[in-house]
Amino acid sequence: MNKDDIIVLADKFTHESPGNYIEEETALNPKCVALKIFESPIFAFGSADDELYNRYKSSDIIGSHFLSPIEWLPNVKTVISFFLPYTDRINSANAMDCHWPADEWLHGRFEGQNLLKQLLEYLVIAISEAGFKCLAPSNDHRFKIGDAKGNTKDTSNWSERHIAFACGLGTFGLSKGIITKKGMSGRLGSILTELDLPKDSRDYLGIYEYCDMGCVCIERCPVHAISFEEGKRHTPCSDFLGKVLEKHSPRYGCGKCQVSVPCESELPMNTEL
């Protein structure tokens, strides 16, 4: 099994899975019936012994509760990170109102996350059946939200965003999302495997290198949680998500900082590769 095999499997699963389309029984409104959630995923393949994973244990990045790839899978060779971009229909719907998430976005966040988990499981099984141990940390029973001090907000022992950065998939934006060549609007996933695959280069140095700092996302945030001075403040953001969850449970989300911005579905124009 090689990189192309994995990419083809993921692409086929994404487009053919019923979970990538909203069914009538679950649609929040009639216009969401048959809504397609994701376009084709993009991938980056990184080294499991990248020195960044030890640096992530620093308290000023993630913390000691972060588990490096080798702590999840002792003989791991490759870290696979991928990004599933939302469809234009989801992005355009969520761009219309700056104050409350669109129904389409809520489906993308909830049903989209369910599909992401299914895709992870599908790829883990496929790689394992090819003879290589494999796991997806976010689907693993050891995955935990929170840190050693009992803080449960905005941290976990595996961060898809930091993994994406390490693998070369993209850099952070001011809103703390990851900007990829297909933009920021979508979902991230990752897999660890003993399969030794060629590694992609990390074509950036700075953590905000793909962010043009034009910062339309500051204006887009309905609760003013983003600023030049502080970046993104998690408390007002999570409080707003709590209000959305209260109204639309089990669905929640916002995503206003990911749409109608230069990095919605591509790299900002001033980014040099």
DSSP class per residue in the chain = --HHHHHHHHHHHHHH-GGGB--TTT-SSGGGTT-B-B---EEEEEETT-THHHHTTSTTTS-TTPPPHHHHSTT--EEEEEEEEBPHHHHHHHHS-SSS--HHHHHHHHHHHHHHHHHHHHHHHHHHHTT--EE-GGGSTT--BS-TTS--SS-BSS-HHHHHHHHTS-EE-TTS-EEBTTBSSEEEEEEEES---PPPP----STTTT--S--HHHHH-TT--EETTTEE-HHHHHHHHHHHHHHHTT-----GGGSSSTTSSS--TT---
CA distance 256 to 155: 21
Per domain, the residue ranges of the chain are 3-170+184-199
pLDDT confidence tier of residue 40, bands split at 50, 70 and 90 = very high
- Inform me whether the pLDDT recorded for 214 exceeds 80: no
pLDDT confidence tier of residue 98, bands split at 50, 70 and 90 = confident
CB 1, CB 90: distance < 8 Å: no
CB 256, CB 133: distance < 8 Å: no
Q: Residue 245, SS3?
A: helix
Window from 67-71, 101-105, 229-233, 242-246 with minimum mean pLDDT: 229-233
Partners of residue 79 on adjacent β-strands: 46, 192
- What CATH topology corresponds to 3-170+184-199? NADH Oxidase (3.40.109)
**For 29-45, what is the mean pLDDT?**
98
For the entire predicted model, the pTM comes to: 0.94
pLDDT confidence tier of residue 228, bands split at 50, 70 and 90 = confident
143-192 pLDDT, tens per residue?
998 766 656 567 899 999 999 999 999 999 999 999 999 999 999 999 99
Q: For tokens 């009538």, what's the residue?
A: 24
